[in-house]
């Protein structure tokens, strides 16, 4: 009997991992509303003893490790230790939330336990988006990037609203299974799933009508995908890379108003603000930017070029920022930068503000002590300078938000660009680090959720991987796929209004943090009263 139950618990853990994973493997997120039901069943089979707690811990750990391993294995292509470190960190947060639910449900009650599950899970997801060690890949709400027709209400809640939806559905479907013959439980579970989808479809239809508005202002945007090997681009012949860019610029239509190149597309390191070529503090100058300006002036007189580059800001003998490095008695910051360049040679800069964990964002003491745990997702090794917020590049009375790669994972930070006036969004990225795997594909589809949250069209230029256009409704337009080189041009819609989510950001997550604190306090008070025999 005991062996049979253990096998069923083992099967439940495997089933939970299988139901959690498809959304991140370019399949579907529609399994998520029931993905935690098997683990809720396992929890229900245990009592409140310490031995039972560790049993539940083991099965939950198995499920979450398998989920993480199945969906982030592709980091291996950049560094073997990467998926191991990412899985350990993410699984720890998953376990923190689920075991908080298990503990509270056994000691205080099932209702408080369910509230704890929803609040703790979203709170730990939120912690993963705002801490220095940030990796919000597996936020449950991100799982619907393939079913944007079902989550159009993200413009009010953001992806944390999606996480809440998933958790509520799982709780209600499990309760329906516990009370199989109680029709009311099944009606509640079905309603929790169907009602948000119905609301979304209505918004989806209205958005379709809005897209047909011929009077809607638009801008002509060209995307360039150079298709340069992401590893070789930092060591290969820089002259060849520059020539590749100019060959592709020649294919851009003359009427283009915005031209996008990928993250770090322009080879070399450049001193701000004049962008003189610089590798050491006494480095020489470069004509790269002058040549790009001349190209724009002659062939694309109405265009703003938005491109990625490595830039360096020097402070002299004073350490002006926490991230500043010291070389030859001079402090400087190295930034991963988006550069806006117009035909007059005027430059606008945005410094990447959400940095890749372990590669671009590693506090100095951590980097020295734990270099072996670096998660190499591409970029520049070590702590680089950090931008404070999103900004907007303006050109001919139109504003574009120049987000850089990893910034596309952060809904609230992405909203900074819109709050600063962006009428459409550009994402410049370098996705080839992980090979032809689900990694770059899901990074592209997550951008669809950013489009919905802020109702901004997105033009995405990747070095290789997937470049393309996304509508404010999250629809995918023209794209360039893996290992393709080329140019695509589209008239993208411009929008000036701000959504509810843009205005208030991750308020769902902030409420969850507060609610989790209340659950902890209530549970502690309950246990104290119980020990004092004040309650049964």
| Non-local CB neighbours of 326 within 8 Å, separated by 6+ positions | 319
Residues in CB range of 114: below 8 A, 6 or more apart: 101, 105, 171
pLDDT at 280: 57
Q: How far apart are CA 110 and CA 114, in angstroms?
A: 6
Sign of CA dihedral 405, 411, 416, 422: positive
pLDDT at 89: 87
Report the C-alpha gap between 150 and 368 in whole angstroms: 45
Distance CA 37, CA 520 (A): 23
Kindly report, residue by residue over 242-291, the tens digit of the pLDDT: 899 999 999 999 999 999 999 999 988 898 888 877 665 556 667 889 99
Q: Mind giving me the DSSP string for 34-62?
A: GTTHHHHHHHHTS-SSHHHHHHHHHHHHH
Cα separation, 227 vs 248, whole angstroms: 11
SS (H, E, C) 311-362: EEEEEECCCCCCCCEEECCEEEEEEEEEEEECCCCCEEEEECCCCCECCCEC
- The 10 Å Cβ neighbour count of residue 521 is 10
Q: Which residues pair with 17 in a beta bridge?
A: none
List the beta strands (DSSP E) in 411-470.
424-429, 458-462, 467-470
pLDDT value of position 533: 58
Residue 242 β-bridge partners? none
Query: What is the Cα Rg of the chain in Å?
Result: 25
Backbone torsions φ then ψ of 277, nearest 5 degrees: -60, 130
By 3-state DSSP, what share of the chain in percent is helix, strand and coil, each rounded to 5?
50, 15, 30
CA-wise closest residue to 133 among 99, 96, 73, 86: 86
pLDDT value at position 464?
A: 86
325/280 Cα distance (integer angstroms): 12
Nearest Cα neighbor of 402 from 394, 392, 410 is 392
Pairing mode, strands 258-260 and 218-225: parallel
Q: For CA atoms 384, 386, 391, 394, give the dihedral sign.
A: negative
Query: Which pLDDT score is estimated for 230?
Result: 79
Alpha carbon dihedral 430, 144, 139, 465, in 10-degree steps, equals -10
- Give the DSSP H/E element, type plus range, for residue 222: strand 218-225
Helix runs in 108-253, H state only: 110-130, 154-157, 159-178, 183-211, 238-249
Q: In sequence order, what are the residues at sequence separation of 6 or more whose Cβ sits closer than 8 angstroms to the Cβ of residue 164?
A: 118, 122, 157, 508, 512
Cα–Cα distance measured from residue 34 to residue 326, given in angstroms and rounded to the nearest whole number: 52
Q: Are 82 and 76 in contact (CB under 8 A)?
A: yes
Exposure string for 374-393, b = 16+ CB within 10 A, e = fewer? bbbbbbbebbbbbbeebbbb
Task: Report residues of the chain scoring pLDDT below 50.
Answer: 364-381
Rounded to two decimals, the pTM is 0.91
Q: Tell me, what's the pLDDT at 379?
A: 40
**CB contact at 8 A, 393 and 399:** yes
- The Cα–Cα gap between 23 and 525 comes to 39
Q: What is the b/e burial string over 346-360, where b = at least 16 CB atoms within 10 angstroms of the residue's CB?
A: ebbbbbbbbbbbbbb
Instruction: State how far the Cα of 531 lies from the Cα of 519, in Å rounded to an integer.
Output: 18
Which residue carries 């060690």 as its tokens? Answer: 133
What pLDDT score was predicted for residue 477? 96
- pLDDT for 510 equals 97
Distance CA 33, CA 42 (A): 17
pLDDT for 237 equals 75
CA end-to-end distance (rounded Å), the chain: 32
Give the pLDDT confidence score for residue 381 in this predicted structure: 47
C-alpha–C-alpha distance, residues 121 and 118, integer Å: 5
Q: Does domain 218-504 have CATH number 3.60.110.10?
A: yes
């Amino acid at each position: 009997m005991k062996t049979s139950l253990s096998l069923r618990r083992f099967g439940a853990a495997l089933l939970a991992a299988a139901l959690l994973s498809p959304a991140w493997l370019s399949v579907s997120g529609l399994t998520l509303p029931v993905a935690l039901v098997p683990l809720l069943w396992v929890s229900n089979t245990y009592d409140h003893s310490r031995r039972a707690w560790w049993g539940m811990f083991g099965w939950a750990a198995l499920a979450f490790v398998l989920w993480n391993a199945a969906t982030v294995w592709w980091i291996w292509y950049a560094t073997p230790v990467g998926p191991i470190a990412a899985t350990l960190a993410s699984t720890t947060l998953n376990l923190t939330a689920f075991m908080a639910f298990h503990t509270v449900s056994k000691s205080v009650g099932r209702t408080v336990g369910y509230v704890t599950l929803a609040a703790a899970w979203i709170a730990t997801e939120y912690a993963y988006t705002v801490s220095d060690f940030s990796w919000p890949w597996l936020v449950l709400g991100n799982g619907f990037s393939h079913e944007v027709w079902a989550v159009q209400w993200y413009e009010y809640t953001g992806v944390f609203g999606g996480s809440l939806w998933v958790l509520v559905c799982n709780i209600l479907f499990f309760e329906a299974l516990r009370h199989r013959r109680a029709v009311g439980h099944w009606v509640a579970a079905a309603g929790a799933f169907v009602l948000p989808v119905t609301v979304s479809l209505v918004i989806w239809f209205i958005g379709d009508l809005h897209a047909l508005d011929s009077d809607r202002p638009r801008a002509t945007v060209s995307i360039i995908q150079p298709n340069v090997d992401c590893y070789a681009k930092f060591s290969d012949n820089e002259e060849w890379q520059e020539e590749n860019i100019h060959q592709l610029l020649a294919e851009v239509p003359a009427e283009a108003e915005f031209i996008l190149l990928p993250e770090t597309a322009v080879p070399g390191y450049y001193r701000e603000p004049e962008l003189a070529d610089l590798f050491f503090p006494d480095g020489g100058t470069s004509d790269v930017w002058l040549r790009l300006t001349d190209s724009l002036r002659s062939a694309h007189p109405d265009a703003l070029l938005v491109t990625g580059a490595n830039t360096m800001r020097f402070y002299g003998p004073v350490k002006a920022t926490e991230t500043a490095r010291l070389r030859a008695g001079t402090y400087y910051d190295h930034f991963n930068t988006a550069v806006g360049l117009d035909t007059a040679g005027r430059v606008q800069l945005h410094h990447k503000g959400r940095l890749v964990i372990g590669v671009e964002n590693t506090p100095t003491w951590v980097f020295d002590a734990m270099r072996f745990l670096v998660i190499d997702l591409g970029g520049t090794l070590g702590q680089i300078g950090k931008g404070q917020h999103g900004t907007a590049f303006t050109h001919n009375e139109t504003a574009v938000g120049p987000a850089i790669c990893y910034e596309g994972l952060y809904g609230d930070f992405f909203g900074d660009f819109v709050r600063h006036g962006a009428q459409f969004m550009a994402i410049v990225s370098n996705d080839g680090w992980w090979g032809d795997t689900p990694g770059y594909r899901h990074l592209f589809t997550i951008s669809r959720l950013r489009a919905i949250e802020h109702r901004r069209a997105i033009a995405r230029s990747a070095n290789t991987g997937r470049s393309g256009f996304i509508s404010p409704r999250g629809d995918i337009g023209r794209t360039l796929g893996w290992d393709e080189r080329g140019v695509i041009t589209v008239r993208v819609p411009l929008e000036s209004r701000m959504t509810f989510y843009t205005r208030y950001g991750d308020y769902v997550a902030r409420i969850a943090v507060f609610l989790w604190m209340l659950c902890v306090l209530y549970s502690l008070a309950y246990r104290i009263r119980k020990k004092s025999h004040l309650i049964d």
